[in-house]
Structure 1
Amino acid sequence: MAPDTESFDLLLTAVQRFIAERLVPAENTVEEADDVPAVIVEEMKRMGLFGLSIPEEYGGIGLSMRQECRIAFELGQTSLAFRSVFGTNVGIGSQGILMDGTPEQKRKFLPRVASGELVMSFALTEPDVGSDASALQTRAEIDGGFYVLSGTKRFITNAPRAGAFTLMARTGGPGAGGISAFIVPANSPGISLGKPDKKMGQRGTKTCDVVLEQVRVPAANIIGGVPGVGFKTAMKVLDRGRLHLSALACGVAQRVLNESVAYARERRQFGERIGDFQLVQAMLADSQAELYAGWSMVQDCAQRYDAKSPGLFNADVSMRASCAKLFCTEMAGRVADRGVQVHGGAGYISEYKVERLYRDVRLLRLYEGTTQIQQLIIGRHLMRE
């Protein structure tokens, strides 16, 4: 059961204060060091941020989807690396266990995930498998009471921090029906990590390859205890993740807009504030209108998500989550581009935050399903309907 309005408002206020007083002042440190300070990570754990979406019975806060999106919107207004520290715990790392895990798996893993003791990562993408997730090649061969896993996963968020992976591997034949979801401890013999990826933006986030060489995993670690349904688990998890990212994109857009309006009020040309020029106002107005549209989509879809049966796939909600992901992440890119334009030459200089935000926001259109994949999901849904 989600927190009541009063309890959630207290949490929201605490998160807003934490962002303003602790995270925003540390943004330059994260950018320069390419890491989030350990002291901030510990503060996040104490605040319960690692368990935002995990039910109270497992030690989490148990936010509804609409409440989670509100928190994600706030976290989007600072460096995205901060949210990434616990983002996989809140979303794709733990949701498979929460949605489809056995009661024993939930009791064993979720309390440690909620406290931040255990960082979970989601390992689906492979070197030759990205958008076509049903074609993954990592194999899981049965051997008595174990499965032996071999393969390579790529661009795995939080892999260097992870204590365990929600990992998809092929236990059967080709296609989606041959895929199973495993809980794989990160310290299992045979697991090695590639060198950390150097990315265009989002410095402070951690991604790398995960290589599995004859890794033995108990059969009891198949999520739900049933092989062959891992692809369905992954798709349900991604629906929630896409909605979360849509809210995050709206938060980034709000930060860019705030920075742009502040600059337009201060910067003067031809004896006037540039914000008094109608063409500059037009760019700000377009950003505000698109942000309003995107955030309205997120709130509507989140409400529909909360109304559906928990843990069950709903095709209409899935389609709308793709609509939100498509529009909001593309919108955030346009708002960031306008933000740089409003700043002029200063927008290309790292001293101004829009330069970082412009780079950071680009990834949102790629992970957890590219814009083109969202278009396919929406189009196919419309043709079926």
Structure 2
Amino acid sequence: MGFTAAVAGASGYAGGELLRLLLAHPNIEVGTLTAGGNAGSRLGEHQPHLLPLADRVLAETTVDNLAGHDVVFLALPHGQSGALAQQLGESVTIVDCGADFRLADPGEWERFYGSPHAGTWPYGLPEMPGGREALSGARRVAVPGCHVTAATLALFPALDAELVLPEAVAVGVTGTSGAGKSPKPHLLGSEVMGAVAPYGVGGGHRHNPEIVQNLSRVAGEPVTLNFTPVLAPMPRGILTTTSAPLRERVTTDRVRDAYQRRFGDEPFVRLLPEGTWPTTAMTLGANTTLVQVTVDEDAGRLVAIAALDNLTKGTAGGALQSANIALGLGETVGLPVAGVAP
């Protein structure tokens, strides 16, 4: 079974990672590639590592250029997917890597993004309860935010097993590619190298309501969250440390059992052996999330740490994993589980 895919935003980081993965996919052929300001230029000028596609000329991101494909991946700035999706029709499968269709609450969308809410699509995190069922045969997929994927996978098994109270803390250390490819003064090498900097402190990050939405859905009650993202001098990767107060005194073995029951059969999420802690280097270029859990007995809290590559499992890999399910393909097709080292 073969499908054709268009990628909008092909000159950006997420678009480039999508194309890297699609080049290894046996069932999806790369079709039209589009861009905004880079339209008319060769892909190789922006993604020189994608040699098989280097001579492709980027088209403008229009409905006409994206139409006629089985799948359209949208790797566009937030707020730009809604209008395109409305015009593409229901026959095409659209996978949006932006935030436009992630949130169910229009008020939260308007509060954090400042524009009218475009709607809510099936959510592209298969590992969540009911995730695969919602994606099977779906024509629309909203890919989670990268911080959201890490924090959700780190903590939701504990909420699902009713081990912790619905009061979460998360600190997510991330590489600079999460901010996109557009030039920004605070991402210059001279600003980033040798510095670790918090941002979006005090609930101000746009991924905050999405993490709360996911955890509250699993917990069956509202979850409060204090989330602090931290920018680190590395190009890619996320390491997220989460914690929550225990409902009662439990052993680390009991906590590990709960996580193993949830993740034991997952192809892309691995609970590491006791005593081994995840690092971003372990996940580089792979569609994996590595998790470790423990109990802080003195504090009475569960601690769960997750690592992933923000461009692979955190964005493009999660998008392709969800697309595989939506198209009826094997979930793992075309997705690497082996990282790159050193």
Larger Rg: 1
TM-score, shorter chain, exceeding 0.5: no
Q: Where is the strand percentage greater, Structure 1 or Structure 2?
A: 2
Give me the TM-score of the superposition, normalised by structure 1.
0.28
Give me the TM-score of the superposition, normalised by structure 2.
0.31
